[in-house]
Structure 1
Amino acid sequence: MMMSRLFTLGNAIRAMILFGVFALFGVIVQSCQGPEGALDRFAVKTLKGLTTLDVPPTRPASLPFDTVTGEAVTLSDYDGKVVLLNAWATWCPPCVAEMPSLDELQRLRGGSDFQVVGISVDRNKEMAREWADENGINDMALWHDKTFRMTGELVLPGFPTTILYNRTGREVARLSGEADWSSEEALALIDYLIAQ
């Protein structure tokens, strides 16, 4: 008799309505989450903070920089290449902690298709050059933001911030904070961007 009360037509209808409400809720939640982008699969482990933009801006090609040896340069010097731009400073512990992995990434993947550029926001370029020399940073390009405009123009939330530009100069992803740029996931991300 107890079993027959549980399996009544009214209870069956209530269960179907409840199931329908949960299913509808699941569809709504799923639709509110944007579609996964091609680069989202690389946002794992040390790159879990990697973010992508629906409408990526172009890089500021005319923003002037100096190399740490004093040559005038701009990001347009790397037109046609995938560029990893890292904003850093010698006074920033997470910045200096990730510099060896950025240098290693340049050593492993740098060439005609890819370039790592570390742009220092130190008071002067000599501080960045001396730190790099003392710490064996030899392969990546080291620049200095002589105008101190980079932070505003690139909308940097802090240091370090890394921005990835595709071959056409569009920002495709960014990561705020320290990462291991010589990790398996970072190398896979760079290989993917180079292949595009």
Structure 2
Amino acid sequence: MALVYVIYAAIHEPIVEAGDNAPDFTVTTDAGRAVSLSKFGGKLLVLNFWASWCPPCVEETPSLSAFAQQYADKGVVVLAVSVDKDPEAYRKFVEKYHPSFLTARDLKIHGDYGTFVYPESYVIDASGKVLRKYAEAKNWMNPDLVSDINSLL
């Protein structure tokens, strides 16, 4: 998988990294809420790209849900954008796992970030700067990760 990423990175631009300005976007969540980078309403936006057919994405969902619940009152917004082409597969995933964060399906935004391996997450501040990039599944309740996020608040 790493080799695929390196090859992709060598022939495509842009790939957004920590320290970069995040590409702007607007997406409508399943709850009907329009979310844009410039108006996400939080101190930090955790932008997660995932797919229903991605086993690490499935593994990550429970801890990301717990994280979203724990940090909702601390000004952190979690938005998970599915790259599923099949709307039915996406719907079934959401119904099965009941994520506790905003979800949407979009086939373009991930390309603006240079994300083609899933899951991949970006922690973005209120000014639109990418503070962290996680290019693999994470346990969002891991004490080291939680401490790092706390340092950004």
TM-score past 0.5 threshold: yes
- Take 1:80 and 1:101, find their aligned partners in 2: how far apart are those partners? 20
Q: Residues 79 and 128 from structure 1, CA distance in 2 versus in 1: closer, same or farther, beyond 3 angstroms?
A: same
> What code does the residue aligned with 2:103 have?
L
Cα distance, 1:82–1:73 mapped onto 2, change above 3 Å = closer
Query: C-alpha offsets along residues 44-92 of structure 1, whole Å, 9 cap, x if unaligned?
Result: xxxxxxxx64xx222222x232312455432323155201111000011
Structure number with greater CO (CA < 8 Å, separation at least 6) is 2
Cα shift readout 1:155-189 (whole Å, capped 9, x = no counterpart): 11411101111222100110111110111112112
Matched, 1:60 2:23: yes
Aligned residue in 1 for 2:110: 151
Q: For structure 1, which runs of at least 5 residues remain unmatched after alignment?
A: 1-51
Gaps of 5+ in 2: 1-16
**Alpha-carbon distance change, 90 to 81 in structure 1, aligned in 2, over 3 angstroms:** same
Structure-1 residue corresponding to 2:48: 86
Structure 1 residue 124, shift from structure 2 partner = 4.8
More displaced, 127-136 or 92-101?
127-136
Decide which of 114, 130, 140 is 1:171's aligned counterpart: 130
Quick check: 2:21–2:129 contact (8 Å CA) kept in 1? yes
Q: Which amino acid aligns with 1:142?
A: T
Q: Aligned equivalents of 1:125 and 1:77: distance in 2?
A: 26
Question: Which amino acid letter does the alignment assign opposite residue 187 of structure 1?
Answer: V
> Considering only CA atoms, is the larger Rg found in Structure 1 or Structure 2?
1
Shift of 1:190: 1.6
* Distance in 1, Cα, partners of 2:98 & 2:33: 21
* CA RMSD between the two structures: 2.0
8 Å contact from structure 1 (residues 68, 128) kept in 2: no
Aligned: 1:162 with 2:124: no
| CA separation of 1:124 and 1:183: change in aligned 2, threshold 3 A | same
- After TM superposition, the runs of 4+ consecutive aligned structure 1 residues lying more than 6 A away are none
The corresponding residue for 1:192 is: 151
Tell me if the contact between 2:38 and 2:126 (Cα under 8 Å) persists in the aligned partners.
Answer: no
In the alignment, the residues of structure 2 paired with residue 72 and residue 127 of structure 1 have an alpha-carbon distance, to the nearest angstrom, of: 22
Give 1:107-186 correspondences, 5 Å limit.
107-111=69-73, 113-137=75-99, 139-145=100-106, 148-186=107-145
How many residues matched? Answer: 137
